[in-house]
């Protein structure tokens, strides 16, 4: 069977007896450069506060000591925050599991994740606290286990002390926990994260990620970009001492200072790039669209940006060309990965200043890949098929599912003779909206709860800003169909009700921004399976004017 591997054959030792926090804070590795004195690990965007290694180590201990009742699974419901790593590593000091929830979730969506993971503690940003409290009540978590990230005035005595108070409390007490050392090989089975990935048959599924997986991926990426290789000319090095990255925790290991921006606002994002003299931008396609097309961009000097790395969805040829004009001095490249691969499988190589148009890069060290045709036979070089991968960073399994050695990605790819990986199409039905996964089946199940909807099919339609957005074909109930046929105004009223039904109960990126189209029947095959590809083509021709404002 044809098998593809990385052009870089060497992969250093990956420790399998360390937790993630022990690897980050307590150990050394040949891939990790010595961080120069005074180079901060994190920078809080709003205040400019710099946080170094010792402060992080101290805060991690304080929080772990305060939380040392060993509540098993901890859910974080917050946007980017400088204390996000502190919470994760404190939980890992205690042997707890972390599950991160999208800060845009509604109470219903958050309650589902809490219940599915059996989380016992919920840490929430003050801006999300109302939804967090509602979700906790729905999921049966007592409010004294809802911990605000920051001080919340007027929240009442029922919720727990905030994070800073807990850290201070823990630092003021004698150590109340003993951190367990892992046995050899145990890092491959001890769960660090329950991260959610949208399934094709319903609501999102929890992916079991052991400590070994993120450690492995950090080492794979560092091996690929060689931050310690002094034979590489300085101008070609992707990472240099003193570099500043916006939003990339990988940078903590390869000596970048990471600026943490809580909520994305494009103009403020530009201001942050300039204020912190950012050298590395780790972005998703909607941010690249804004960089290239927003009129504010021309007002900011971005000449210090040396690398723009994009993931989550492919960039179009036009966008790459426009980015090259905007940042002629920068390396511009893409990468590919999944929650289930934790995370990167392919990245732009050191040999390319600008990634090959349409390519997600090349396989990184340690990844083995096969490309399978529709009939299950192996594809050769240059032939399309589903990407199937095996790597040291793979997640263990979906929660309550069986373990698999090879992961079927659900993405159709071509790997050319030069090892470049091209993502052709998604075989799975999952949509990618602003980099977030959206399962059509989840939206379809919700739409069927609407009294006007008799049958439905949701597909993704292309959108320059979001990559794609959900579009719903709807078969109305007999009474609603009769009402909608009376006039255009009545039909629009029914559509508005359906759109609101989704907007009121789902995160903003799941809204039907592509639109709603009434049809008499939903096409299905003999076994009842939705003919989604046929409808996707039809939706693309119907949805010319995407309602961009509905996602903001």
Are residues 359 and 399 located together in one domain of the fold?
A: yes
Whether residue 43 lies inside any domain: the answer is no
Cα–Cα distance, 352 to 349 (Å, whole number): 6
Q: In this structure, is residue 193 part of a structural domain?
A: no
Backbone angles phi, psi at 136, to 5 degrees: -60, -45
Q: How deeply is 294 buried, as exposed, middle or buried, from its count of CB atoms within 10 A (0-12, 13-18, 19+)?
A: middle
Q: How many domains does the chain have?
A: 3
- Is residue 312 within 8 A of residue 435, CB to CB? The reply is yes
Residue where one domain finishes, among candidates 426, 441, 464: 426
| Backbone φ, ψ for residue 546 (5° rounding) | -75, 140
The pLDDT of residue 336 is: 92
Domain boundary among 181, 203, 233: 181
Pick from 335, 331, 374, 375: which is nearest to 354 by CA? 331
CA distances from 219 to 98, 140, 392, 495 (A): 21, 39, 10, 50
Same domain (yes/no): 241, 371 = yes
**DSSP 3-state helix, strand, coil percentages of the chain (rounded to 5)?**
30, 25, 45
- Pairing type for strands 244-246 and 257-260 reads parallel
190: in domain? no
Residue partners of 348: CB distance under 8 A and separation at least 6: 309, 331, 333, 334, 335, 355, 359, 361, 362
> Is there a contact between 103 and 77 (Cβ–Cβ < 8 Å)?
yes
Q: Are residues 351 and 259 part of one domain?
A: yes
Task: Report the distance separating Cα 44 and Cα 42, nearest Å.
Answer: 7
Listing DSSP states for 115-144 in one string gives HHHT--EEEE-GGGHHHHHHHHHHHT--GG
> Is the domain of 166 the same as that of 309?
no
Residue 188 lies in a domain: no
Residues 242 and 296 in one domain: yes
What pLDDT does residue 403 have?
A: 82
Phi first, then psi: what are they for 147, rounded to 5°?
-110, 115
Q: How many CB atoms lie within 10 A of CB 546?
A: 20
Residue 266: partners with Cβ closer than 8 Å, 6 or more residues away = 287, 290, 294, 296
In a domain, 510, yes or no: yes
Do 444 and 400 have their domain in common? Answer: no
Query: What is the SS3 assignment for 535?
Result: helix
Look at phi and psi of residue 48 and say left if phi exceeds 0, alpha if psi is from -120 to 50, else beta.
left
pLDDT for position 157: 58
Question: Residue 531 sits in a domain of what CATH number?
Answer: 3.30.300.30
Residue-by-residue pLDDT tens, the chain, 552 positions:
789 999 999 999 999 999 999 999 999 999 888 888 888 999 999 899 999 999 999 999 999 999 986 567 999 999 888 999 999 999 999 999 999 999 889 999 999 999 999 999 999 999 889 999 999 999 999 999 999 998 766 555 567 889 999 999 999 999 999 998 999 999 999 999 999 986 555 678 899 999 999 999 999 999 999 988 889 888 788 888 788 888 655 455 455 688 988 888 899 999 999 999 999 998 888 888 889 889 999 999 999 999 999 887 778 788 898 999 999 999 999 999 998 999 899 999 999 999 998 899 999 999 999 999 988 999 999 999 999 999 999 999 998 888 888 999 988 899 999 999 998 877 777 888 988 888 887 898 889 889 999 889 999 998 888 889 999 999 999 899 999 999 989 999 999 999 999 999 999 999 999 999 999 988 876 555 677 777 888 887 776 544 443 334
The alpha-helical segments, DSSP class H, found in 234-311 are 266-275, 285-293
What pLDDT is stored for residue 545 in this prediction? Answer: 44
Based on the domain organization, do 134 and 221 belong to the same domain? no
* Last-in-domain residue among 143, 164, 181: 181
Instruction: Name residue 369's beta-bridge partners.
Output: 4, 389
The answer to whether residues 472 and 403 belong to one domain is no
Same domain, 411 and 499: no
With respect to residue 84, please indicate whether it lies within any of the assigned structural domains.
Answer: yes
**Contact criterion met (CB below 8 Å) for 106 and 507:** yes
Whether residues 394 and 490 fall in one domain: no
Residue 44 included in any domain? no
CB 166 within 8 A of CB 63: yes
Q: Do 515 and 397 reside in the same domain of the chain?
A: no
Residue 452 pLDDT: 93
CATH number (domain holding residue 331): 3.40.50.12780
The domain of 473 spans 431-551
- Look at residue 146 and tell me if it is in a domain: yes
What distance in Å separates the CA atoms of residue 447 and residue 502, rounded to the nearest whole number? 7
**Between the CA atoms of 52, 58, 60 and 64, what dihedral angle is there, to the nearest 10 degrees?**
180
For residues 159 and 283, membership in a common domain is answered with no
* pTM of the complete model beyond 0.75: yes
Q: How far apart are CA 532 and CA 429, in angstroms?
A: 8
Q: Going by C-beta distance under 8 Å and a sequence separation of 6 or more, which residues neighbour residue 460?
A: 431, 432, 433, 438, 440, 468, 469, 470, 471, 514, 536
């Amino acid at each position: 069977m044809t098998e593809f591997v990385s052009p870089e054959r060497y992969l250093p030792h990956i420790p399998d007896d360390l937790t993630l926090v022990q690897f980050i804070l307590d150990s050394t590795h040949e891939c990790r450069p010595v961080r120069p004195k005074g180079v901060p690990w994190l920078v809080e965007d709003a205040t400019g506060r710099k946080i170094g290694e010792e402060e992080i180590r101290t805060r991690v201990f304080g929080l772990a000591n305060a939380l040392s009742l060993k509540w098993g699974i901890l859910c974080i419901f917050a946007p980017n925050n400088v204390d996000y790593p502190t919470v994760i590593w404190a939980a890992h000091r205690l042997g707890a599991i972390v599950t991160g929830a999208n800060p845009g979730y509604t109470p219903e969506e958050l309650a589902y994740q809490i219940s599915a993971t059996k989380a016992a503690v919920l840490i929430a940003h003050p801006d999300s606290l109302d939804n967090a409290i509602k979700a906790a009540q729905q999921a049966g978590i007592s409010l004294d286990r809802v911990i605000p990230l920051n001080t919340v005035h007027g929240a009442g005595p029922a919720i727990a002390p905030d994070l800073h108070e807990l850290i201070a409390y823990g630092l003021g007490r004698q150590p109340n926990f003993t951190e367990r050392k892992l046995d050899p090989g145990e890092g491959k089975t001890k769960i660090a994260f329950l991260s959610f990935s949208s399934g094709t048959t319903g609501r999102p599924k929890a992916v079991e990620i052991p400590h070994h997986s993120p450690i492995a991926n950090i080492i794979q990426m560092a091996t690929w970009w060689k931050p310690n290789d002094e034979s590489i000319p300085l101008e070609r090095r992707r990472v240099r001492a003193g570099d500043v990255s916006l939003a990339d925790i990988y940078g903590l290991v390869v000596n970048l200072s990471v600026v943490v921006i809580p909520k994305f606002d494009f103009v403020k994002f530009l201001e942050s790039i300039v204020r912190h003299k950012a050298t590395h931008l780790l972005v998703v396609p909607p941010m690249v669209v804004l960089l290239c097309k927003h009129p504010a961009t021309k007002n900011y000097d971005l000449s210090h940006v040396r690398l723009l790395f994009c993931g989550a969805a492919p960039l179009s040829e036009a966008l790459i060309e426009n980015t090259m004009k905007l940042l002629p001095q920068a390396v511009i490249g893409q990468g590919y990965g999944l929650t289930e691969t934790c995370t990167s499988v392919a990245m732009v190589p050191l040999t390319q200043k600008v990634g090959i148009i349409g390519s997600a890069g090349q396989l990184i060290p340690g990844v083995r890949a096969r490309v399978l045709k529709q009939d299950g036979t192996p594809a050769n070089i240059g032939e399309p098929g589903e990407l199937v991968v095996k790597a040291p960073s793979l997640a263990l399994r979906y929660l309550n599912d069986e373990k698999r050695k090879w992961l079927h990605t659900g993405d159709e790819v071509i790997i050319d003779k030069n090892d470049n990986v091209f993502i052709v199409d998604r075989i799975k039905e999952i949509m990618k909206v602003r980099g977030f996964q959206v399962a059509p089946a989840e939206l379809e199940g919700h739409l069927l709860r609407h009294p006007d909807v008799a049958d439905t099919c949701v597909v993704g339609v292309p959108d320059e800003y979001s990559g794609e957005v959900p579009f719903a074909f709807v078969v109305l109930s007999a009474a609603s169909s009769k009402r909608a046929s009376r006039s255009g105004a009545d039909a629009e009223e029914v559509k508005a009700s359906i759109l609101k039904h989704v907007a009121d109960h789902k995160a903003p990126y799941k809204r039907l921004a592509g639109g709603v189209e009434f049809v008499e029947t939903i096409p299905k095959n003999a076994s009842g399976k939705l003919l989604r590809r046929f409808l996707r083509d039809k939706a693309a021709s119907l949805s010319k004017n995407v309602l961009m404002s509905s996602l903001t």
